[in-house]
Amino acid sequence: MFAIQNLKTWVKDDKNIDVALPFSLLRPRIRKEPLGAVLIIGTYNFPVQLNICPLIGAIAAGCTAVVKPSENAPATAMVLTRIIEGYLDPESYRIVNGAIPETTALLDEKWNKILYTGGVNVARIISKKAAETLTPVCLELGGKNPAFVTSHADLRLAARRLLWGKTLNAGQVCVSHNYVLIERALVKPFIKFLQESYVDFFPKGARESPDFCRIINTQHFDRMKRMLDSSRGQIVLGGGTDRDDLYIAPTAVLVESEDDVMVQEESFGPIWAILPYDNIDDAIAVANATDSTPLALMAFGSQAENEKVLSGVTSGGATLNDAFMHAAVHTFPFGGVGYSGNGSYRGEASFDCFTHRRTVAETPGWADKIFRVRYMPYLESELKMSQWLGDVKPDFDRDGRQTFGLKSVVGSVLRVGSDSGTGALFRWTIIGVGSWLIYDRSWV
């Protein structure tokens, strides 16, 4: 509904362009146009949302699209197939089911853009293939996401919210935390609060709860089980597993080194590490050494501490005093940075993702009187006037002190508070009309 309610605004030409005053006569604008045919490759952990949300953006932008859902969620893929084939124009929107051979065949085609959600290794393959035809890509990947907990945090609330982040969808969430960096003195009470929250969530245990799901397949179960078996840490919560049931309990492992497998590998499941630190600078250093561009970051501390973490660690998105709530707002842009991806979608960002912003200028015939300077022969007087009108010089000297020259003062007056030439013309028009209405009473 958000796209339907806002589409008329999104598709309008962008005319609020900051240009020098003379160039505002060219009616500069940015026209929104569809990129063309796009390929959307989804994944299994949220198989409806991660296929449909980008498709909504493609439709809103006016693109045609092919959707390739994950073969690891076949039941949902069949539902999506019935919806897309039953309700969308088959000449414009198609769905292709299958595994690696089908995906490979799709990548052999020429696309105007590819959006992929998944892991880094497959993203490299897609990017390499797209580069052959200079096809732009939007990559939504994962990362070893850190959570920071300081002495200024509400420890009980931090434990409860972080446990929720690892029990929702059995932790198979790309923005859930991979490890918790916590002040050393807080470790014991934090674990106690984790255990209490676990009992609150699952009075009969997670295995018996209808609210706790299972791991997607044996491949991912075995990968997480190897992580737990290889860790040198101490299990302080959970630890239960059952391969036949694809069950792994919410499991926290207390580790003493950032080199532990629980920190160094992305779990993408209900298991995570707790790593003590002595000061916040050490914690930031560990996070940057582990994964310098995670998809998400969570910080529980004072405002100053949270700001320090945000400034010290780059991430695709961040949530303060909670677990990945920035990703819960479906109108927010969602995307990664560096190894966690590039580009973003959801909300208006979905429309922008599949839109070409085409710059347009329209020169009226009479404008040659103003722009005569561009024609030869070049006259020195006209060149000086053109430079005076068009050049923007810094309003500070070499020592960084702000200066107010004649041009800056005149420019400020002429702009009447506007940041653009178009805005200045509009404001002067209002001033002129207002002055005429005040001094010419004949209209009364």
Catalytic residues: 140, 174
Radius of gyration of the chain (CA): 28
The DSSP 8-state label assigned to residue 378 in this structure reads P
Contact 60, 31 (CB under 8 A): no
Alpha helices in 62-110 (DSSP H): 74-87, 100-107
The DSSP 8-state label assigned to residue 417 in this structure reads T
Contact 207, 198 (CB under 8 A): no
Give, in degrees to the nearest 5, the angle at Cα 352 between 329 and 63.
115
Contact 134, 264 (CB under 8 A): no
The two three-digit tokens of residue 198, written as one number: 């676990």
Beta strands at 179-183 and 146-149: parallel, antiparallel or unpaired: parallel
Taking each helix axis as running N to C, give the angle between helix 187-201 and helix 155-167, from 0 to 180 degrees, rounded to the nearest 10.
50
The DSSP 8-state label assigned to residue 207 in this structure reads G
- Reduce the DSSP state of residue 56 to 3 states and report it: helix
Distances (CA, A) of 394 to 126, 249, 391, 408, 409: 44, 60, 10, 9, 13
Beta strands at 355-360 and 93-95: parallel, antiparallel or unpaired: unpaired
Burial class (CB in 10 A: 0-12, 13-18, 19+), 229: exposed
Contact 206, 249 (CB under 8 A): yes
Distances (CA, A) of 284 to 34, 265, 278, 299: 41, 18, 11, 11
Contact 258, 290 (CB under 8 A): yes
**Ramachandran quadrant class, 412 (left: phi over 0; alpha: psi -120 to 50; beta: rest):** alpha
Contact 327, 179 (CB under 8 A): no
Whole-number Å distance between alpha carbons of 370 and 235: 76
Distances (CA, A) of 164 to 133, 143, 144, 160, 437: 43, 19, 18, 6, 64
